[in-house]
Amino acid sequence: MSDKRPCREVLYDPTRGKLVLNTREIVRHPLRFLRTGGPFLTAHHPFCTEYESHVFHWRGRSWCIGCFFSSISFAVIMLAVLMVWFFDLVPLSRFWLFYGGVAGVIISLLCSILHLTENKKVKAVAKILLGAAFAAMVWSILLYEGFVVSGLDEKIALILFLYFPIITLMNARRMVEIGKTCEGCDYKGRWSRCPGFEDLLCDMVEEGFLHPEPKKERPQGSPQAQ
């Protein structure tokens, strides 16, 4: 059941229960849900000054620097190598594709570990390198014994085996950093009270995709109720 009160009254009500997603409403209106949550889907970070170095602004929307530039560079290099292979423009060396890709991934991760990516331009370059490097590694695997000729299942399994540890390491580090940043904030990681999430949460509440969990009433006569 949706809460008909103004959204800020819901968010800042000290007696409300935990905010939970209305899965039934999401299933009924998936496109409206995606439009409502769109700003966070592209930004991936809270909308506050603490995370300004992680996003850039384009066409009135915030975009995650890491996801945007690594995805674009991955797609471009995948397509470029496909054209080179298809038209046989130059010989492709699996050795240099794979180990060049490994070197690129290591350099990109080191830039992040050494906090060089706190600079937006450095972060963008590092993420472009990461996407391109992983695309090179993917192609080195796909070209083994001929492209899509044999062992495609094994090739895809190996690609995923390489991808998941890299992305897990990056996401784990990101979550630790976000946790430290948000816990050190005045709002102590309570995103439902964070001004950086207020507009997004308000839209979600008003659209019926988010609502406070009903608080359980304590039995009369219990020590907590007295």
pLDDT band at residue 213, thresholds of 50, 70 and 90? confident
Q: What is the pLDDT of residue 226?
A: 38
Q: Is the pTM of this model over 0.85?
A: no
Q: What is the pLDDT of residue 138?
A: 92
In degrees rounded to 5, what are phi and psi of residue 44? 65, 5
| Mean pLDDT to the nearest integer, 207-223 | 67
Q: For 4-50, how does the pLDDT look when each residue is reduced to its tens digit (9 = 90+)?
A: 677 878 788 888 878 888 899 999 999 999 888 887 888 878 788 88
Rounding to the nearest 10 degrees, give the CA dihedral for residues 45, 46, 47, 49: -90
Query: Domain-by-domain residue ranges, the chain?
Result: 17-202
| Mean pLDDT to the nearest integer, 102-106 | 93
The answer to whether residues 65 and 56 touch, using CB atoms and an 8 Å cutoff, is: yes
As a residue count, the chain comes to: 226
Three-state DSSP class for residue 57: strand
Is pLDDT of 87 > 70? yes
CA distance 69 to 132: 10
